[in-house]
Structure 1
């Protein structure tokens, strides 16, 4: 007897009116992923220039524009991959694959956002920030089309996207970016991206067609090596910042810079627990869902703020 595997229903269902279409477009834009764009405050926070009306207004604008660009990429990506997603056990539930959002509508919405966001940035943001936003959009669209199928380059592109989020806040406010900030941010992002890929590879081992096709070309050993290397470099970069004495006034009640190393290392080690288990496939769920990690992150944030404020 031939055993037939049940396949997802590939028939598209028409969206239920304008409200259903708009809801589908919103879900396709991945609201859950917008939390990543909070990284735009990283550079101003590190420089102690976050709490002013000008800074908050400019950063709110940059957050919205980055979110619009990311949404444009998600819409175009889902429109391009609609046929493949319908054959996927999980991605078949996405609005475009499920037929709640017609492919032309996803393309149209993505194109509109992709044109509007850089245009607004050119008009309202400094030239450097507008250029970075445009570069992010172009890079992510190239990732959707071809770069996500290239070994190592896919990791680099996703990591660079996180770094761009962290950098654009500094560019928007004219804040110089230190080498330690760039090193820690870059390798911290690579740590989380590689841990995500490693978790996906572990969870879907032996399941043909259940995940990214490129994962089949990576070994779990290689991905483990990447996230471990990245975690080590991120910790080293942070330690070098914390222990650097040149130009640092000694007026703090306690050495908050040095003490914050403990919390930072604990946060990395705690996240590595999930990475090692292969359960770090959704970084935002790990960061927001683990109480211990949330407490460690809060303690680190307080120490970091006190260090920046030189309290």
Structure 2
């Protein structure tokens, strides 16, 4: 009996650790890969010093992102209990208490900020702007129609800018524009999924959903989709030293079309990182796009 109690204690500790890991949402760290955009397009991907700095920047963004997720989970715990998926989050489910979550935050936040300042001051400023943007989003902006999605898009832009600043390279405005449009596409897709999944209970979970309708979001998605394709196509025409970058346009088209298929037919897309990781055709397409871009940029 004593042995079973000990085993029970071990399971409890393991479950607690899993709760802390889940609280940091490592699956969503895939969004931080946008930090590598400047490294790839500035053609420094095979230079160890540059790669090391961007990797460290990536880890800083992962840690600060975890801090943001912890704060969100604490603030939205009661509302998350009403969501079919979010009710399983550590704080909402009760696996991790709000106090434990805040203690975890108090240790993680200083490490991420100090690490960023040790890496580069300008990068650290961008990281703090990213954190401030997310705090404002959690407190106020997520209740403001359209601006809530634009705030999400700003987070992606800051990742790209941070990746450029940490290695002191120029990044094309076309890349920033494509990042903005793509992130708006993902943001509106997320709102659409919430409306579909929650149906009549959408307003009780997220009040801002009162301001959205499927028709309105579909119109926004149509506009953003067209703009994304045009912006990326213009980038390949005008912003590269080689016209071979135009060969990557089909990958972008397929990726957007596939994501829309997932949104409209599979009724998913509420979590972009989970969508990418769970859909093999989409993941393969992204990998092929990245490989094709690297080959074209570096072998010209």
The answer to whether TM tops 0.5 is yes
Q: Which runs of 5+ in 1 are unaligned?
A: 1-14
Match of 1:260 among 238, 248, 267: 248
* Shift of residue 276, structure 1, vs aligned partner: 3.1
CA contact (8 A) 1:159 1:193 kept: yes
2:261 corresponding residue in structure 1: 273
1:126 corresponding residue in structure 2: 120
* Shift of residue 209, structure 1, vs aligned partner: 5.6
**1:74-125, Cα deviation, whole Å (9 max, x unpaired):** 1122122223333444333221122221211111222332233112211x22
Do residues 144 (structure 1) and 133 (structure 2) align? no
Distance 1:88 1:192 in 2: 20
Distance 2:252 2:105 in 1: 37
C-alpha change, 1:62 and 1:196, in structure 2 (3 Å) is same
Distance 1:271 1:296 in 2: 11
2:76 corresponding residue in structure 1: 81
Do residues 163 (structure 1) and 151 (structure 2) align? no
* Shift of residue 129, structure 1, vs aligned partner: 0.7
C-alpha change, 1:185 and 1:114, in structure 2 (3 Å) is same
- The 5 Å alignment of 1:210-289 reads 211-244=205-238, 248=241, 255-277=243-265, 278-289=267-278
Q: SS of the residue aligned with 1:176? A: coil
CA contact (8 A) 2:203 2:209 kept: no
1:110 corresponding residue in structure 2: 105
CA contact (8 A) 1:132 1:164 kept: yes
Q: SS of the residue aligned with 2:177? A: helix
- The 5 Å alignment of 1:42-61 reads 42-61=37-56
C-alpha change, 1:48 and 1:279, in structure 2 (3 Å) is same
Do residues 184 (structure 1) and 178 (structure 2) align? yes
C-alpha change, 1:307 and 1:93, in structure 2 (3 Å) is same
Query: Aligned residues, how many?
Result: 291
C-alpha change, 1:232 and 1:61, in structure 2 (3 Å) is same
**1:226-281, Cα deviation, whole Å (9 max, x unpaired):** 22211211111111111127x72x6xxxx421211222222222222223333222
CA contact (8 A) 2:82 2:205 kept: no
2:286 corresponding residue in structure 1: 297
1:7 corresponding residue in structure 2: none
Quote the RMSD (CA, aligned, Å): 2.3
Match of 2:200 among 206, 219, 231: 206
Distance 2:11 2:140 in 1: 33
Point out the structure with the larger helix share: 2
Distance 1:104 1:294 in 2: 37
C-alpha change, 1:293 and 1:92, in structure 2 (3 Å) is closer
C-alpha change, 1:89 and 1:145, in structure 2 (3 Å) is same
Q: TM-score, normalised by structure 1?
A: 0.86
